[in-house]
Amino acid sequence: MAVINAFAHRRIESGQSVEVAVYRSFIDIYSPGRFPEGMTPQLFIEQPLAPIRRNPLITRTLYYSKDMESFATGLRRIQDACDKVGCKVEYRGNDYGFTVRFHRHCGEGWGTGMSANVPQDVSQDVPQGASLKDRIRDEVVRNNKITQSELAEKLGVSRKTISRNMKEMQDIHYVGSGYSGHWEVER
């Protein structure tokens, strides 16, 4: 439900994709594009509001395919489903996008059978709700000699994911070669 909602309302012209980040204690679903000005997630949860359609063709298609139940009820249905099973959910926004965070400690059996290679030490200084590209940028600004492997370990994703995201980021460039090189971030 949250992934479909993120896909339906993402800001296509941003060039970013919907991101699902799975961590030991929470799952983030990030959608590019900030929440509508003057609106809060709580407003959509608590009262019926008219839909704000960023992508009317996509939302209409999802509605007719029955992947969306109705317009402007996504956050309310997410909140209701989480309340029903006792799962804490948070809504976070920044200048670049909107994140729905599901905490994984809810209900019986959550967190069992987790893979041993799931990172436990995700950077504490990264702003909550930041997209993967924002988190990469923050880490590179902190340490311009960081390797892609170190970024992958620190951010809890594969090196291939880091490499793919960095290729898409036009404001980060590697200067020099091999060991003597460093990252530069355009401001």
| Domain CATH for 166 | 1.10.10.10
User: Which strands sit side by side in the sheet containing 97-103, from one edge to the other?
Assistant: 19-22, 26-32, 97-103, 89-93
CB atoms within 10 A of CB 160: 10
The pLDDT, as a whole number, for residue 7 is 64
Q: Is residue 143 part of a domain?
A: yes
What is the rounded CA–CA span in Å between residue 120 and residue 166? 23
What is the rounded CA–CA span in Å between residue 41 and residue 28? 16
What is the rounded CA–CA span in Å between residue 168 and residue 144? 18
Q: Is residue 126 part of a domain?
A: no
The pLDDT, as a whole number, for residue 109 is 44
One domain, residues 11 and 100: yes
Q: Is residue 123 part of a domain?
A: no
The pLDDT, as a whole number, for residue 72 is 67
Which tens digits make up the pLDDT trace of 53-109?
777 788 778 878 877 776 667 778 888 888 888 888 888 887 788 888 998 765 444
The residue ranking higher by pLDDT, 146 or 126, is 146
Domain count, the chain: 2
One domain, residues 6 and 54: yes
Which tens digits make up the pLDDT trace of 141-182?
889 889 888 898 888 888 899 989 998 988 898 888 877 888
Its domain, for residue 154, covers: 131-187
Tokens at 70, concatenated: 């109705």
